[in-house]
């Protein structure tokens, strides 16, 4: 191991207290996905951290959600193919205004708590310190950190930014929280939703029933048909999680609506599901009804490509070299790692500190894993070919 390599790992192991301090500052700022001011305030704290280490943060403005931020060593280039190493993370959380004041950052035993502490403000802190370490000891490494602001609502505003940056990356580490088992994520499902609106014709349910066309009746047929596309063995699930309509029990419903969550494993399944779902939504079963629909909130899968498998092996070996036995897990949840992988970048996910119970009041992160996982990411970077 070269001198700078050892210095990077030694420095990161010495930064645990400083990592906790920065994490406390980030968690105590509300940054729900629809709170642009709050998400950008978290970005400002991180930009200040980077500025103190001689790193300038570039801003890619986003109108309605948190801006996308990019910061990296001077060696980063975007004109030479796949050269850079990309550390990804999102600043938004699922929690609204006032949550941080109601239950601020605090530590009990070996766990830290607070809104977004694991998903994924601990990962942001980890990435920040990894970049700081390389800036300090190995600035010739082309390392870039990307901080987005709308992951929890589907990354529609930042998708193009992630895709563009990933096309210059030879390795991507996405700092979602490591699983409670300590494992990272080597595969994720893709997903999208369809929102659909059904129009029928109102009629009195007792006086002139036959003159009506029930939008709720049509909705029921569509729910049954959509759920029938679920294939657990193939990793395909469809769930109409929102549905409603009508105005009273004695009126044939003139309006109804629904929203279906769709999860899949690979691109071929995605293409087939789009055709089948749109055929169901476009089909009329109850005469006199009409349905309009829109596909929304798409996330791409993190598939087990040869490149992704190879990077996962490097991450496992790096962890083992530091005394930690970790494995890759597959999850049905979606993340920005799928966007990077779909852009052709070798990608591994859940490289952040170990945490659990995300999106709940019990969300936690294991404090000791802040510096631990930072060291694993750094050791992985140092093991990359070339």
Q: What is the pLDDT of residues 231-253, one digit of tens each?
A: 999 999 999 999 999 999 999 99
| Mean pLDDT in residue range 164-189 | 96
| Nearest-angstrom CA–CA distance, 241 and 226 | 12
Give me the pLDDT at residue 386, please: 75
171, 85 Cβ separation under 8 angstroms: yes
Half-sphere exposure of 90 (CA within 13 A, CB side): 31
1 pLDDT above the threshold of 60: no
Instruction: Please give the pLDDT value at position 58.
Output: 98
**Tens-digit pLDDT profile for residues 342-382:** 999 999 999 999 999 999 999 999 999 999 999 999 999 99
35-91 pLDDT, tens digit each: 999 999 999 999 999 999 999 999 999 999 999 999 999 999 999 899 999 999 999
Residues above pLDDT 90, as percent of the chain: 94
Query: What domains, with CATH codes, occur in the chain?
Result: 3-189+301-383 (3.40.630.10), 190-299 (3.30.70.360)
**DSSP labels, 80-113:** SSS-EEEEEEE--BS--TTHHHHS--EEETTEEE
Q: What pLDDT digit, counting tens, does each position of 84-123 carry?
A: 999 999 999 999 999 999 999 999 999 999 999 999 999 9
Terminal-to-terminal C-alpha distance of the chain = 15
In this structure, are residues 312 and 184 in contact, taking their beta carbons and an 8 Å threshold?
Answer: yes
Confidence at residue 2, expressed as pLDDT on a 0 to 100 scale: 58
The mean pLDDT value for 168-196 works out to 96
- Write out pLDDT tens, residues 265-324: 988 999 999 999 999 999 999 999 999 999 988 888 998 899 999 999 999 999 999 999
Mean pLDDT of the residues in the chain: 96
- The answer to whether the bond into 120 is cis (omega within 30° of 0) is yes
């Amino acid at each position: 191991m070269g001198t700078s390599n050892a210095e990077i790992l030694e420095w990161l192991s010495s930064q645990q207290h400083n990592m906790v301090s920065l994490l406390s500052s980030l968690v105590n700022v509300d940054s729900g996905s629809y709170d642009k001011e709050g998400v950008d305030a978290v970005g400002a704290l991180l930009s200040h951290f980077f500025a103190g280490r001689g790193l300038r943060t570039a801003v890619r403005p986003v109108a309605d959600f948190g801006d996308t931020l990019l910061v990296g060593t001077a060696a980063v280039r975007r004109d030479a193919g796949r050269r850079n190493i990309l550390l990804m993370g999102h600043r938004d959380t699922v929690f609204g205004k006032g949550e941080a004041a109601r239950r601020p950052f605090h530590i009990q035993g070996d766990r830290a708590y607070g809104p977004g502490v694991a998903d994924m403000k601990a990962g942001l802190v980890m990435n920040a310190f990894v970049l700081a370490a390389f800036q300090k000891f190995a600035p010739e490494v082309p390392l870039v950190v990307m901080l987005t602001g709308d992951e929890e609502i589907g990354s529609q505003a930042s998708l193009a930014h992630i895709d563009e940056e990933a096309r210059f990356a030879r390795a991507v580490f996405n700092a979602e929280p490591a699983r409670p088992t300590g494992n990272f994520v080597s595969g994720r499902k893709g997903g999208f939703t369809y929102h659909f609106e059904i129009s029928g014709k109102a009629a009195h349910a007792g006086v002139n029933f036959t003159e009506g066309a029930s939008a709720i009746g049509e909705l029921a047929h569509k729910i049954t048909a959509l759920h029938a596309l679920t294939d657990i063995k193939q990793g395909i699930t469809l769930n109409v999680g929102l549905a409603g309509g009508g105005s009273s029990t004695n009126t044939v419903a003139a309006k109804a609506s629904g929203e279906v969550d769709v999860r899949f494993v690979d691109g071929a399944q995605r293409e087939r599901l789009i055709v089948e779902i749109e055929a169901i939504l476009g089909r009329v079963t109850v005469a006199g009804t009409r349905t309009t629909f829109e596909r929304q909130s798409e996330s791409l899968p993190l598939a087990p490509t040869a490149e992704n498998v190879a990077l996962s092996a490097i991450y496992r070996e790096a962890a083992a070299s530091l005394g930690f036995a970790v494995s890759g897990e597959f999850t049905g949840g979606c993340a920005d790692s799928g966007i990077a992988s779909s852009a052709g970048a070798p990608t591994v996910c859940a490289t952040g500190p170990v945490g659990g119970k995300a999106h709940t009041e019990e969300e936690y992160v294991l404090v000791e894993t802040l510096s631990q996982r930072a060291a694993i990411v750094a050791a992985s970077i140092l093991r990359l070919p070339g």
